């Protein structure tokens, strides 16, 4: 019985060392790419409330504020093969990944028809999510126009 268990363990170990583990890397890349692609499709279709739910948010942007900003933007991801090109995973940890990808854009005023850069994705509930700030930045509606920074000092 111990001999069978030992042989089985060795077979699994050899399989992982010799390359079956590379299949999991391809699966991870496929999942990251699919989740990002789905998010860009939702954006392209103008379903901004659903898009808000598909993003990792940090900060104080409310759903209503996000939807209003996105409705005011003419920039959208391109369709089909132009949507995402040259997708590469740069780093991947359990709940965070950094990818490098070219995203095709339509309707972007006075700018290129694409953006090529790194994106940080966060895994939440088994889904890889783009950062809300990245989408706002690409859309050209970062929300920082007209805001004044104020400093407050506390006296103890």
Indicate the pLDDT class of residue 151, thresholds 50, 70 and 90: very low
* Owning domain of residue 93: 25-139
pTM: 0.74
Whether residue 99 is contained in a domain is answered as yes
Whether residue 120 is contained in a domain is answered as yes
pLDDT higher than 50, residue 9: no
Domain CATH code at residue 44: 3.10.450.100
The answer to whether the CB of 101 falls within 8 A of the CB of 131 is no
The answer to whether the CB of 118 falls within 8 A of the CB of 98 is yes
Question: Which residues sit opposite 127 in a β-bridge?
Answer: 124
Whether residue 16 is contained in a domain is answered as no
Tens of pLDDT, residue by residue over 111-140, are 668 999 999 999 999 999 999 999 999 999
Whether residue 3 is contained in a domain is answered as no
- Burial string for 69-86 (b: 16+ CB within 10 Å, else e) reads bbeebebbbbeeeebbee
Tally the domains of the chain.
1
């Amino acid at each position: 019985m111990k001999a069978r268990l030992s042989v089985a363990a060795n077979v699994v170990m050899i399989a992982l060392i010799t390359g079956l583990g590379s299949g999991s890397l391809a699966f991870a890349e496929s999942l990251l790419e699919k989740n990002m692609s789905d998010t860009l499709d939702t954006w392209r279709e103008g379903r901004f409330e659903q898009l808000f739910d598909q993003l990792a948010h940090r900060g104080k942007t409310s759903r209503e504020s996000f939807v209003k900003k996105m409705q005011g933007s003419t920039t959208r991801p391109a369709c089909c093969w132009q949507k995402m090109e040259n997708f590469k995973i740069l780093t991947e940890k359990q709940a965070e990944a950094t990818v490098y990808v070219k995203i095709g854009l339509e309707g972007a005023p006075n700018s290129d028809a694409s953006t090529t850069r790194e994106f940080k994705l966060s895994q939440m509930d088994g889904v890889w999510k783009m950062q809300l700030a990245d989408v706002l930045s690409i859309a050209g509606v970062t929300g920082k126009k007209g805001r004044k920074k104020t400093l407050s000092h506390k006296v103890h």
